[in-house]
Structure formats: structure tokens, C-alpha cells
Amino acid sequence: MKFKTQLSQLISRDDIIDSLPKVDIYHSAKDHNHFSRRLQQRAINWDAIRIAIAYGKFQYFSQAQTWTLLDRSLIHTPYARFIDKLRGLRIIANNYTCGDTIELITAYWVYDLRR
């Protein structure tokens, strides 16, 4: 079975991911499809983003919210067998969101963590 199929099956049974807040995409005036284009260029899917928000290490960095998937955050989860494929994913979100919504700005791989 392929990685994406296995990941989506695990996510469908995960209660932690079901309880995540609503996720929106932040659209800037200059570049409306920045986030979608970056996901495609960097081979990142929405399932990996939801895992990063649910299990990633959360930090505030330069007036933004960040989640980074580390080995330590995935080791005792159902996604432990996918550590090599998920390690180093970082999600950046707008710090000024209203209500219970996360506005995602960008996502990328931290290659220093992937080694």
C-alpha cells in the first residue's frame, strides 16, 4: 500500500486530529495561491499538515506560530513507522487569527532535521 493511502487511513481513525481547530489558508494581496503552490512544489499533502498541527512541536517564532515534526513528537504515536517521511515538516501560521481558526501561511521541509 502506498504511503499516502496508509497515512489517510490512520488519520481517519485518529481522534486527536478530529478535534483540531478549523484550518484556513492565508491569502495575501500579492500572491493568492502561495500556500497551494508551495505544497505542490515541496510534495507536502494535507494529511501531513494535519499531523504536524496535532503532534508537532509548537513554537512562536518571529510573530508566527510554527509546528515542526520531530522524531521525539512522533515516536509514541500511530505514525511512528512514517518518521523518516514526516521528519522535518514545518508549518507556519499567522499569529493574528480570530477565534478558533488557524490561518496557514506556508509549509516547508527543514532539511537539517532530515539527516
Domain boundaries, the chain: 3-8+21-114
Place of cell 520531530: 70
Region of 28 please: left (phi>0), alpha (psi -120 to 50) or beta: beta
pTM for this model (two decimals): 0.88
Q: What is the pLDDT tens value at each position of the chain, 115 positions in all?
A: 688 899 999 999 999 998 888 888 877 778 788 888 888 999 999 999 999 999 999 999 888 899 999 999 999 999 999 999 999 999 999 887 666 888 898 999 998 876 6
